[in-house]
């Protein structure tokens, strides 16, 4: 009996050690700035993220908090979570995002199955008649915005800056098409340039720089392939993202 108890305890210890060895928790913090010509950049938001990895599963938690209010960017405070699988790349199964924008509470939930969206919940509902149409085919093999951001943090996911991300945020459907890679500062920095292609779910005069950018660039260190920054432009407005290093 004593031998069985000892053997069982050793088995639990081995299982526990295996679980801990195969799980990874990564916390990161990002700063978002807005900039217009002839003015210094202004810190408008902070994003705290937690990536949980276990075998081929991932859970990505994010918390967004506004820091300074500017009249050309909508203030946003929210929390979100993504659950998914890692199959060569990040594939979401469930995306949930609850936030406050223009003093109104909003909620988005997207469920995926076999690379198709099987459920969309948006609160409050929006008037689709005022938006460009989205077909069922457009929603096949899409990812949510936070999974897109998680993906571009790693240069290994960028296919040498030739990658298309099919993104749907619950309302708007767009592609981010990376086509160009360049280096600078004696090849110590690599830049991936992309265009954002609006496909559906947009107003005629869409001004949200996060979902309607004229140009996107992601910057990495050449040596370590680490994320250094993100830039998006919409007209005269620039959005800049960098990471707080510990």
DSSP string for 172-219: -EEEEEEEEEEEETTTTEEEEEEEEEEEES--TT---TTTS-SEEEEE
Q: Which two tokens stand for residue 20?
A: 């801990």
Return the closest-CA partner of residue 33 out of 209, 227, 214: 209
How far is it, in rounded angstroms, from Cα 58 to Cα 146? 13
Cis ω for the linkage preceding 124 (within 30 of 0):
yes
Q: Measure the CA–CA gap between 140 and 112, rounded to whole angstroms.
A: 10
At 143-200, the pLDDT tens digits run 999 999 999 999 999 999 999 999 999 999 999 999 999 988 766 899 999 999 999 9
Q: Strand 23-35 and strand 116-123: pairing?
A: unpaired
Rounded to 10 degrees, the C-alpha dihedral 169/170/174/176 comes to 20
CA distances from 22 to 17, 53, 54 (A): 9, 8, 6
Write down the pLDDT at residue 224.
Answer: 81
Distances (CA, A) of 142 to 68, 93, 149, 181: 32, 11, 13, 24
Euclidean distance between CA atoms 210 and 216, whole angstroms: 10
Rg (CA), the chain: 20
Q: Are strands 57-66 and 116-123 parallel, antiparallel or unpaired?
A: unpaired
pLDDT, averaged in runs of 10, over the chain (246 residues): 38 36 83 91 94 94 89 84 94 97 93 96 92 95 96 94 96 96 84 95 79 90 89 91 88
Per-residue pLDDT, 198: 94
Confirm whether pTM is higher than 0.85.
yes
pLDDT, residue 22, reads 60
Residue 210 has a pLDDT of 75
Residue 211: CB atoms within 10 Å: 20
Could you tell me the two tokens for 62?
A: 């994010």
Task: Give dist(CA 244, CA 115) in Å, integer.
Answer: 33
């Amino acid at each position: 009996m004593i031998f069985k108890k000892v053997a069982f305890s050793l088995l639990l210890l081995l299982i526990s050690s295996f679980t801990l060895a195969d799980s990874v928790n990564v916390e990161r913090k990002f700063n978002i700035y807005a900039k217009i010509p002839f003015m210094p950049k202004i810190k408008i938001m902070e994003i705290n993220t937690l990536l949980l990895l276990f075998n081929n599963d991932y859970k990505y938690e994010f918390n967004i908090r506004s820091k300074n209010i500017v009249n050309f960017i909508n203030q946003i405070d929210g929390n979100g979570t993504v659950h998914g699988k890692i199959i060569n790349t990040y594939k979401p199964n469930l995306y949930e995002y609850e936030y406050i924008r223009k003093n109104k509470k909003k909620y988005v939930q997207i469920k995926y199955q076999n690379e198709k969206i099987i459920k969309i919940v948006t609160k409050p509902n929006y008037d689709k008649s005022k938006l460009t149409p989205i077909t069922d085919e457009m929603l096949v093999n899409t990812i949510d915005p936070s999974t897109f951001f998680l993906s571009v943090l790693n240069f290994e996911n960028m296919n040498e800056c030739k990658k298309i991300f099919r993104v749907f945020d619950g309302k708007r459907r767009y592609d981010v098409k990376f086509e160009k890679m360049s280096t600078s500062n004696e090849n110590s920095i690599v830049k991936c340039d992309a265009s954002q292609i609006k496909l559906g779910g947009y107003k005629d005069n869409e001004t949200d720089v996060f979902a309607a950018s004229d140009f996107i660039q992601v910057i990495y260190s050449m040596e370590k392939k680490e994320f250094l920054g993100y830039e998006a432009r919409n007209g005269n407005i620039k959005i800049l993202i960098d990471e707080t290093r510990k």
